[in-house]
Amino acid sequence: MKKLKEILYKVHIEAVHGSTDVQVNKIEFDSRKITQGDVFVAIKGTLSDGHTFIDKAISLGAKVVVCESFPDVFIDGITYVLVNSSNQALAFLAANYYDNPSQKIKLIGVTGTNGKTTIASLLYQMFKKAGYKVGLLSTVRIMVDEVEYKATHTTPDSLTINHYLSEMVATGCAYCFMEVSSHGIHQKRTESLYFEGGVFTNLSHDHLDYHATFAEYRDVKKAFFDELPKTAFAITNADDKNGAIMLQNTMARKRTYGLKSYADFKAQILENQLTGLLLKVNNEEVWVKLIGSFNAYNVLAIYGVAVELGIESHEALRLLSELESVSGRFQYFISKGNITTIIDYAHTPDALENVLNTITDFRTKNEQLITVVGCGGDRDKTKRPIMAQIAASLSDKAIFTSDNPRTEDPQVILEEMEAGVEGQHFKKTLSILDRKQAIKTACQMANKGDIILIAGKGHETYQEINGIRHDFDDLKIAKELLTQLEK
């Protein structure tokens, strides 16, 4: 139990009706989870407005209502707190309720279009290898040192973030590495957190279903760095044209990494193979088990964070050489029939192009490259024709299929993809609605030595159709199909 007036610290209050000198049980923004003595925060979401559930929350036992507009009638014994932004209020309420755990752990945020999961996950892996207790908040999973929890969003809600940070502090974790999405920044989920450092990976076409323009998407990312304290560090990709913009107004210590530009942390690719990369990092050679130039950038960001957090540079390189790739990120296997299958989460034009260019770098051109790719429903439609054209132009065969159609008609999604394919590439493309059938067709088309790329879902083990998640694992299905076909 906490006193309401204690957890209202730093909340931007416009008016209060009732007493703040009351004991409260817990905080909820989902009225269905309310129990006796709770605080209900009414949030205006994209699908529903929490203000319409205030009466329901009170009937279930809510003692306090935090809202952006007062109801017409006040109920006796209920405290109403009027705020300008319920999302922002929730962030501070959650942090105060859990005794501001982000101030008791070294929290590093990683933001950008691509690379967030890889960087955060490998930093977790690296600092575990260095002997620390570590936390991870990522798209793939949440880790409280050794204990794993299922992740549901790239950046969880403020309550979830502070709950897990509190668990990490209680467990003795010294560090937490966290993916920070543009949605999370825009919805104030990170507002109350104290970051020790921030990393910017890159910026490319994504989330334009949510952000009105690319400039807005960029500026939301920039806002994360604007808020970093002067005691923190900010590491940005010097080779990305938006990298310098991220640092324009930050008070944090500025650091850069890059392969092409002058940077504090610089690398040269000496060898690029299917088994890994040989890099020269700040004039020291290191072999890493990650593949492709995009991973060279990820390695540099990880190295930069490690050095900024006090790991000696030679030790940082040694630890880098031991890191294993992240599930669903350029994950590959070679079948008995010598067919290489690569599974990758690439779901943006930039990510797909990076993966296909990486494959091109180490292929001999004596083999076929067959790409299976789809685009998600209820998401940015403008990237569909672009991704289809990239797949068709950089592959020998491209099979368009369903990703997570969600509530959209998958046939319409495929037609919007097909519209982007230039005439000279038409004959290289196929459209197969059923994703398993598309993967099976790719396996049947492949001969000894060929390469299959299955893009878009990566680590996901489900396919979402009309609001229902069905079991679906690209890696597992490809292995099963190739095993059957090669008997």
- For 414-455, the pLDDT digits (tens) are 999 999 999 999 999 999 999 999 999 999 999 999 999 999
Q: Quick one: pLDDT at residue 205?
A: 58
The Cα–Cα gap between 186 and 158 comes to: 12
Read off the pLDDT of residues 444-484 as tens digits, 9 standing for 90 and up: 999 999 999 999 999 999 999 998 999 999 999 999 999 99
Query: By CB neighbour count within 10 A (0-12 exposed, 13-18 middle, 19+ buried), where does 95 fall?
Result: buried
What is the residue whose two structure tokens read 């609001």? 467
Q: Quick one: pLDDT at residue 8?
A: 98
Task: Check whether 204 has a pLDDT greater than 90.
Answer: no
Q: Quick one: pLDDT at residue 364?
A: 87
User: Average pLDDT in the 309-316 region?
Assistant: 98
User: Average pLDDT in the 154-180 region?
Assistant: 94
User: Average pLDDT in the 28-47 region?
Assistant: 94
The Cα–Cα gap between 259 and 201 comes to: 13
The Cα–Cα gap between 361 and 369 comes to: 12
Q: Which residues, in sequence order, are CB contacts of 140 under 8 Å at separation 6+? A: 117, 121, 151, 326, 327, 328, 459
Q: Which residues, in sequence order, are CB contacts of 2 under 8 Å at separation 6+? A: 23, 24, 96, 97
The Cα–Cα gap between 220 and 262 comes to: 26
Task: Check whether 403 has a pLDDT greater than 80.
Answer: yes
Q: Which of 242, 234, 250, 329 is nearest to 290 (CA)?
A: 329
- H/E stretch holding 410: helix 410-418
- Let me know: does 443 contact 339? Beta carbons within 8 Å: yes
Tokens of 252: 């944090």
- Given pLDDT bands bounded at 50, 70 and 90, which one contains residue 45? confident
7-11, 193-197, 350-354, range with the lowest pLDDT: 350-354
The Cα–Cα gap between 373 and 399 comes to: 6
Q: Which of 157, 220, 219 is nearest to 189 (CA)?
A: 157
**Beta partners for 237?**
257
Q: Quick one: pLDDT at residue 46?
A: 77
Q: Which residues, in sequence order, are CB contacts of 9 under 8 Å at separation 6+? A: 92, 96
- Let me know: does 218 contact 207? Beta carbons within 8 Å: no
User: What is the average pLDDT score of the chain?
Assistant: 95
Q: Quick one: pLDDT at residue 211?
A: 43
Q: Quick one: pLDDT at residue 37?
A: 98
Q: Quick one: pLDDT at residue 132?
A: 98
Q: Quick one: pLDDT at residue 231?
A: 97
Q: Which residues, in sequence order, are CB contacts of 460 under 8 Å at separation 6+? A: 328, 345, 404, 472, 473, 474
The Cα–Cα gap between 255 and 235 comes to: 5
Q: Quick one: pLDDT at residue 81?
A: 98
Q: Quick one: pLDDT at residue 212?
A: 54
Q: Which of 14, 101, 134 is nearest to 66 (CA)?
A: 14
Read off the pLDDT of residues 84-125 as tens digits, 9 standing for 90 and up: 999 999 999 999 999 999 999 999 999 998 999 999 999 999
Instruction: Enter the DSSP assignment of 75.
Output: P
Q: Which of 102, 96, 100, 139 is nearest to 120 (CA)?
A: 139
- H/E stretch holding 485: helix 474-485
23-27, 87-91, 185-189, 196-200, range with the lowest pLDDT: 185-189
- Let me know: does 180 contact 193? Beta carbons within 8 Å: no
The Cα–Cα gap between 235 and 394 comes to: 32
Task: Check whether 208 has a pLDDT greater than 50.
Answer: no
Measuring CA to CA, how many Å separate 380 from each of 84, 206, 429, 434, 435? 29, 7, 22, 21, 20
Q: What is the largest CA-CA distance in the chain?
A: 78
Read off the pLDDT of residues 322-337 as tens digits, 9 standing for 90 and up: 999 998 999 999 999 9
- Given pLDDT bands bounded at 50, 70 and 90, which one contains residue 40? very high
- H/E stretch holding 3: strand 2-3
**Axis-axis angle for helices 313-322, 293-308 (nearest 10):** 140
Task: Check whether 261 has a pLDDT greater than 60.
Answer: yes
* Residue 290: how many other CB atoms lie within 10 Å: 22
Q: Quick one: pLDDT at residue 224?
A: 96
Task: Check whether 209 has a pLDDT greater than 70.
Answer: no
Q: Quick one: pLDDT at residue 154?
A: 62
